[in-house]
Amino acid sequence: NSPTDATHTRDGGLAVVDKGNHRISLRTAAGEPTGTLGSKGSGDGQLNRPLSIACCPRTGRLLVADKNNHRIAMWDENGVWVGTIGAGEGAGEGQLKDPTSVAVDGSSGLVLVGEAGNSRVSVFREGEGGRYTFVRCLGGPGVFGAGAVLALAVDAATGAIAVYSDEKETAW
């Protein structure tokens, strides 16, 4: 209905964010549909305006920027709901507000979350039992201009981070 992002899965398939239907569409490498993840709502396994997706190369987990639920939703590589990243809506450590993008640094395993509502990138690290803990924030009001963080990317070779707002591009 309204695709906004896509990522390759570890098995070579494709996971496509369908913002309008509040779900993730799964496809084979040839583009054939194989299923969906999520439905509209705020409970476990539900999404409300998903915008971005990333696949963790080490675990195969799919991580989805679930904008209106202010979290990163996670499914394992078999499509089983795993949980969330984020400590609720807000601007405090580990809290998220309007996440619009998610990326995984394949070498370090760090998860980066671009937040429109806080104009920053929150960084999380996987810990014991697959739980993610807050590490730090990059940016904040004014760093990316007056605009909101809309997209980010991690260079797999160098670990460099590119952050795109509606006003400018910033690199770390």
d(Cα 109, Cα 89) in Å, to the nearest integer? 24
Q: Which residues of the chain have pLDDT under 50?
A: none
**pTM for this model (two decimals):** 0.93
Side chain identity at 28, as an amino acid letter? T
In eight-state DSSP terms, residue 31 is -
**For residue 30, with 0-12 CB atoms within 10 Å meaning exposed, 13-18 middle and 19 or more buried, which class applies?**
exposed
pLDDT of residue 159: 81
pLDDT of residue 163: 83
pLDDT of residue 172: 60
pLDDT of residue 75: 98
Task: Say if CB 163 and CB 145 are below 8 A apart.
Answer: no
pLDDT of residue 162: 83
d(Cα 128, Cα 146) in Å, to the nearest integer? 37
pLDDT of residue 72: 98
DSSP secondary structure, 81-102, as one string = EEEEESSSBSSSTT-BSSEEEE
pLDDT of residue 143: 66
Cα→Cα distances 132→31, 96, 117, 123, Å: 32, 13, 21, 10
Q: Which of 46, 27, 48 is nearest to 37 (CA)?
A: 46
d(Cα 50, Cα 18) in Å, to the nearest integer? 7
